[in-house]
Structure 1
Amino acid sequence: MKTCFPLLLLAFLISCQESDTKKEYASKTYQVYMRDNLAGSHTSSMDSLGNYVYTFEFNDRGRGPEILEKIRLDQAGNISYLEITGVNYLKDTVVENYAYINGAAQWKSTSEAGEKATDGNPFYSSVNGTLGDNELLIRLLLSAENHTVELLPSGTATISNIEAITVDSIPLRLVEITGFGFTPFYEWIDEDNRIFASVSSWLSIISEEHSGMIESLLEIQKKKEDAFFASLAKELTSTPEAKTLIQNVNLFDAKNGRVVPGQQVVVNGNKIESISSVAPNLSEGTKIIDGTGKTLLPGLFDNHCHVQKEDGILHLAAGVTSVRDMANSMELLEIKKQFDENSNIGPRVVTLAGFIDQKGPFAGPGLTITNVAEGEEAIQNYKDNGYHQIKLYSSIDPSWVKPLAKKAHELGMKLSGHIPAHMLAEDAIKDGFDEIQHVNMVALNFLSDTIDTRTPLRFSAVAENTHNLDLDGAEFKAFVQLLKKKAIEIDPTVSIFEGMFSTKAGEPDPQFEAILDRLPIQVQRGYYSGGLPIPEGKEQQYKDSFAKLLEILENLHSNGVTLLPGTDAMPGFALHKELENYVKAGIPANEVLQLATIVSAKNVGMEDLLGSVEKGKMADLILVDGNPVENISDIRRVELTIKDGKVFNAKELYGALGIRHFQ
């Protein structure tokens, strides 16, 4: 098909038939809430030409989309024309168009383009669309056979469940939809088949009039989600009735950073019973796993997560058995309990970090304060709820750091976070920081403290300037000595900056490029949206700044500063890339694996139970096809994960989410 998009669009505009616009489509205005904070708005209406018109915007610390979307439907309710303009979450320009005319569907956006001969029935799934897309799709699904609709570019969407529920005397329906992500998503619709609300623990969209219902709607929705994950846990968990022998396996000795060949490892319940080079006497019923040609490692740690219910399977499939949560809603306590009980498959949440920011226009999504006393009260409350650490954020008044650190330390808690705006990292360390999140916060130490790092300047200023940083200079060396003297740990999450600094729309996110073809198509499409708006002519400069961030990691590590591998990105796969980038930086693979295992276990005070494969330790283990000490990318080839003695087949875990295994 050779039709060019402008000609196809022109043909559509000339020959478009009247869609069913006479049905009333009342204008609606919704508010966007991030946690309990008003962050933006969403509107839906119909214009005089019969186009459905949607706007969507919110502000998240200076980031956030601003979208205008126009859609025209045909008589059957499918999209015949779509136009989207605006900016995406990182404020880069987005333009997206779709048209169907005379058997030809064609689409083009800032991240993809395609065309296909169809009968017009597939529903085009936009890359940059709004909640309005979901509403129009649901209306079509409700009348479709088996509640299923074919999608463009590919795939299908299905309403897998509808439940009528009256909330606050309002008759609603909770709709469960599959076909877009790893797990179902949910929308609340009213009697007119319009979106009533879209709610989650992070971001909710609902009218201002009904905003008080968010908590009630979310509680009902959570029960649906819990039932889904509980059913998967029952299906995908294997609990050995007797002992398990992993025989003839190469064992990664995390304490010494070496591989020991030909080991026989016996697991009894949730403990490692024995390790030997000689085949043990087997008791009746012992399950035997052949480890020939494979490597047995302790379960990996991801040191920077924001845990959600749907993350657990991805973590375990990738060999991540322990995580630190670096800021979340109080729902985290329930999620942790579910993971511990295996009513939802997931890792150990070994650190809970309580989030604190100062109220203001750039405050992060979480608990905010207006003075030191409120901060001290929040720290006490976090401690009382079992939290281990406090994470301060970018809007905190620099003068508050010292008293808040004092309070945290009095309670035996660590203090970490973003370096507050108008403060340098070295000053935050002197005032009580124990750990720094994100390597860009290290790079910012060598720029001016006048930069308002509450905004996206904390990314763009680093991309603009870090390539010039002299790691052999006196200033950088002095900073490294301060880190060592104060035993400051760095949680770099370096890989998130690679895509941010080096890709444009239409290019795959390098964090996930190696595995994109394994993901469901609708998930894949989200990883071609590009990074920061890169000024023309500065492409190489931005890439060089990322390369410098890698050099910083190697320098810190070689100078004895503790790095804690973490991601702040898609569970599992992102940690694999993080470890690969550490090796790319020049850190030997065996030492990288030590950082992700025994060093991480020591950081959370659990080295007696986790972090190495030793007799008497917890049975948190991963079996990898290959040897990641020789080739770090073999860490992606996880076959089995054992967490707390329970056995999980990685291929089955991925399959439940629509992801292909590495084989």
Structure 2
Amino acid sequence: MVAAGQPEAPRHPAGVPGTERTVVGVSGPVIDARMRRRVGLAAAVAGFSVVAGIAAGAGAVQAQAHVTVDIGARDPAFSPDGSTIAVSILGKIWTLPAEGGTARQLTDGASWDTRPAWSPDGRFLAYAARSRQGADILVRNMATGGVRFLHGVPGSVGHMQFHPDGSQLFFVDDRSQYEAHVWRIPLAGGEAEQITHTRSWHEWSFALSPDGNRILLETGRFDGTDLYELDLEEMSLERVTDTPEREMAVAWSADGTRRAHVMTHNGLDQLIVSVPGWRKQFLSTFDQKQLAFHPSGEWLLVLGGRRMQRLDLESGEFTPIPFEARFEVAGDPADDLLITNVRLFDGTGDEAVPGSAILVRDGRIAEVRTGEDGGVPEVAPGTPVIDGGGRTLLPGLMDNHYHYWQPLAGADLLAAGITAIRDPGSAIQDAMDFKDAVRLGVLAGPDVYTAGPLIDGPAGYHPLVDVSIDDPAAAPALVRALKAQGVDLLKAYFLLDPDVLAAVVAEARVQGLPVTGHIGVRTGWRQAIEAGISGFNHIRVWRDFLPLETQADGRDMSLDGGRNPVGRMQADWREIDPASPEVMSLLELMAETETALDPTLYIQDVDDGDRVRFSIEEFHTARQAYERMGEFVRRAVEAGVPLLAGTDNVGLFNELEAYAEAGVPNAAILRAATANGARWLGKEDDFGTVQPGRRAHLILVDGDPLADIADLRNIDLVVKDGVIVFGGPPTEPLIP
């Protein structure tokens, strides 16, 4: 049977393109090799029909294309002679002349490559290749191009530097934001040796002395970090700085006479350079700087905002170091796409309409026909047509609380039907790199809408991904700096004082940035709503409803000094009645002001497998608290509060099923994972619903998620910008 709008396919002898073949589980003709490139090989095994006609002489559609970038640099390292800079640009290692110019790509493949380090003789370049399982330290022979494995770590690799005699490589084993320590390993291979051992602290940057006997490093816990000098022979320590601020990004000149580092205070970076006879300071915006002395010692490379500058140490003048890096990417298919015979939930209402058809053209939805009498749009010969077989078609899903800290997670997210994420807190350098890499086609993944760093008060809880501020007057400059670096929203964190939060929100409104908040320690929700905040993360409402002496105050890893029965519930929810007039008044205010709720409900759940972590009393307290949190979410939806489905990286399907268990209607759940997130960003005319003009982010589901939300797990097809990016469910879900 040929789908409507398609000509009868001519018969061909066996072995000639166009021959019909049969594959188990597929009804109808099977697409040929060229069409596989057009609609995705996996579509042929998804269990639905793909019917296509190909014009005679049509060439391969998946052509190669190129994109050129002049931003996205990180981790600069000079060659020993100072003529060349090795740098990571959007996950690959490149080299370019020290004065700037055209970059030459050194690495390729599926890994995300960072942290280049030259050997003292310039013969070798070490770098970190991050995979989904961890990261490998690889060493490249610059003469032959050969690469060998040196060491692997379970997390990621931070700063790297060769010992001056070339015999060892020093590196940061970055296992978490609280456990990042300096190690060393012989270049010839062997066992790696850990040098710093502090628990729940971190050392992210370091610099070796010219003789290799001492190491200058930053170390700290939570927000504050200081600089120390460690004697590697005697293992004795000398403090270099002693401030409550964050001191970081250390550099040491090759002759040992000059040092530099960055101190961040109130959302501003202070670049501090010490040379014999003087000490200079340069004030600039916060942009996650990295520093490297030129081997001559005459100038300092300053990388900030993913661009490079040359700081002349004599004159104090900054000069840009421009570059261009040309990536080869797959060209987008130019074909239209027609999907017929589906039950359409378009994200605008409560029902799904059977017998619907959707035409995609140039990556956007061109036409929607609904109902049995709606007919099928006319298409040109050769247009791929997918018979949905009565399955449910929905907008692509959006996780409104996903921290994109693993760059190679994008394929798994797409396989779970997630075509967009809202990242409410990542290091600004990572956040913008991952966002750009996906946007340009360098990296597979959902569209990224990012807040960049958390904006927090002093002694912030997430030192790797926050920026601290305690002065309302400093808020406008910080907000403008983050906007200039490309963030899509802002995230306020729980140690912000009310007046500082209000100043952040006020400037964000001027800049057109929505603000979401994980707050409730220093500032209550009602206070934040009155200041104009756009939404809340989690369900941290104790500031509004509990006595001060029982509230979380941000102390230690429990966030409340261990006062509450279950650590990190951060309040005893048995004392909060979701049906009380006080709670309902807050929810009505949220609904009136359209202040959204991203509850991350599932992450608070405990089940029988958690009993070993708790006492009997703690376990039952946690269960009761979770049930009340679920009731809070249900009542919020009933009151008209916009619900945003977000997970904090624990699985979108789990989160949606938690809403259903709490009594939230399935249609509201589906909108929380589709249309609501786009609307919160002010992009409802661009994506989030299946309507003409919207981007073609679509998922085809075997089942009816309006009847059973768990049917969303049965994804047969994912389309992003009109391109099929996933065409059949794996044997086991990649995302829970």
Q: Same fold (TM over 0.5)?
A: yes
CA drift at 1:643: 0.9
Distance 1:291 1:603 in 2: 31
- 2:86: which partner in 1? none
Change beyond 3 A, Cα 1:543–1:260: same
Contact map agreement 1:425 1:442 (CA 8 A) in 2: yes
Which residues in structure 2 correspond to 1:300-319 (within 5 Å)? 300-308=397-405, 309-319=407-417
Structure 1: unaligned runs, 5 residues or longer:
1-34, 37-133, 139-146, 149-156, 178-186, 223-229, 508-529
1:371 to 468, 471, 484: 471
- 1:251: which partner in 2? 344
Letter paired with 2:408: E
- 2:388: which partner in 1? 291
Contact map agreement 1:397 1:420 (CA 8 A) in 2: no
CA drift at 1:635: 0.8
Distance 1:566 1:602 in 2: 15
Distance 1:356 1:464 in 2: 23
Deviations 1:562-610 (A, max 9, x none): 111111114xxx1111111111111111121112212222111111121
SS in structure 1 at match of 2:567: helix
CA drift at 1:207: 6.7
SS in structure 2 at match of 1:423: coil
- Is structure 2 residue 460 aligned with structure 1 residue 383? no
Contact map agreement 2:535 2:596 (CA 8 A) in 1: yes
Contact map agreement 2:569 2:604 (CA 8 A) in 1: no
- 2:697: which partner in 1? 620
SS in structure 2 at match of 1:312: helix
Change beyond 3 A, Cα 1:618–1:196: farther
Indicate the structure (1 or 2) with the bigger Cα radius of gyration: 2
- 1:278: which partner in 2? 375
Deviations 1:162-218 (A, max 9, x none): 9xx97575456799x9xxxxxxxxx9843353437899xx9766778264489699x
- 2:521: which partner in 1? 421
SS in structure 2 at match of 1:247: strand
- Is structure 2 residue 624 aligned with structure 1 residue 544? yes
Distance 1:492 1:390 in 2: 17
Deviations 1:482-538 (A, max 9, x none): 323333211111111114xx4655x7xxxxxxxxxxxxxxxxxxxxxx7xx534323
Distance 1:210 1:619 in 2: 51
Which residues in structure 2 correspond to 1:131-150 (within 5 Å)? none
Deviations 1:357-402 (A, max 9, x none): 1222746532123433333321121122232322221222334222
Bigger relative contact order, structure 1 or 2, given CA contacts below 8 A and separation 6+?
Answer: 1
Contact map agreement 1:316 1:650 (CA 8 A) in 2: no
Change beyond 3 A, Cα 1:412–1:197: farther
Contact map agreement 2:515 2:534 (CA 8 A) in 1: yes
Change beyond 3 A, Cα 1:484–1:614: closer
Change beyond 3 A, Cα 1:361–1:492: closer
Distance 1:251 1:431 in 2: 39
SS in structure 2 at match of 1:350: strand
Distance 1:305 1:462 in 2: 20
SS in structure 1 at match of 2:605: helix
Letter paired with 2:495: S
Distance 1:205 1:294 in 2: 50
Change beyond 3 A, Cα 1:263–1:484: closer
Change beyond 3 A, Cα 1:188–1:614: farther
Distance 1:316 1:204 in 2: 34
Contact map agreement 1:249 1:291 (CA 8 A) in 2: yes
- 1:478: which partner in 2? 585
Change beyond 3 A, Cα 1:204–1:566: farther
2:637 to 557, 561, 564: 557
Change beyond 3 A, Cα 1:158–1:290: farther
Change beyond 3 A, Cα 1:414–1:267: closer
Size of the aligned set, in residue pairs, is 452
Contact map agreement 1:299 1:621 (CA 8 A) in 2: yes
Letter paired with 1:284: P
2:456 to 349, 357, 372: 357
CA drift at 1:539: 1.7
SS in structure 2 at match of 1:400: helix
Distance 1:265 1:404 in 2: 42
1:498 to 605, 626, 635: 605
CA drift at 1:444: 4.9
Change beyond 3 A, Cα 1:559–1:207: same
Change beyond 3 A, Cα 1:643–1:464: same
- Is structure 2 residue 192 aligned with structure 1 residue 195? yes
Change beyond 3 A, Cα 1:464–1:374: closer
Q: TM-score by structure 2 length?
A: 0.54
- 2:361: which partner in 1? 268
Change beyond 3 A, Cα 1:189–1:417: farther
Letter paired with 1:582: Y
- Is structure 2 residue 434 aligned with structure 1 residue 348? no
Letter paired with 1:342: G
Please give the root-mean-square deviation of Cα atoms over the aligned residues, in Å. Answer: 4.2
Change beyond 3 A, Cα 1:207–1:240: closer
CA drift at 1:412: 2.6
Q: TM-score by structure 1 length?
A: 0.60
CA drift at 1:241: 4.2
SS in structure 2 at match of 1:367: strand
Instruction: Using the TM superposition, name which of 189-198 and 637-646 deviates more.
Output: 189-198
Distance 1:577 1:589 in 2: 14
Contact map agreement 1:318 1:650 (CA 8 A) in 2: no
- 2:222: which partner in 1? none
Contact map agreement 1:246 1:266 (CA 8 A) in 2: yes
Distance 1:194 1:372 in 2: 50
Deviations 1:112-155 (A, max 9, x none): xxxxxxxxxxxxxxxxxxxxxx99x99xxxxxxxx99xxxxxxx
Change beyond 3 A, Cα 1:503–1:367: farther
Greater helix proportion? 1
Distance 1:550 1:249 in 2: 33
Letter paired with 1:537: E
CA drift at 1:427: 2.5
Change beyond 3 A, Cα 1:402–1:321: same
CA drift at 1:426: 2.0
CA drift at 1:621: 0.8
Structure 2: unaligned runs, 5 residues or longer:
1-73, 76-133, 139-147, 174-182, 208-214, 218-249, 252-288, 293-302, 307-326, 561-565
Contact map agreement 1:250 1:294 (CA 8 A) in 2: yes
Letter paired with 2:483: K
Distance 2:452 2:639 in 1: 27
Letter paired with 1:243: D
1:330 to 425, 428, 432: 428
Distance 1:602 1:406 in 2: 20
- Is structure 2 residue 649 aligned with structure 1 residue 569? yes
Letter paired with 1:627: D
Deviations 1:414-464 (A, max 9, x none): 33312252432222333343311111x135532223434314246737476
Contact map agreement 2:470 2:497 (CA 8 A) in 1: no
Letter paired with 1:622: I
Change beyond 3 A, Cα 1:411–1:266: closer
Instruction: Using the TM superposition, name which of 335-344 and 420-429 deviates more.
Output: 420-429
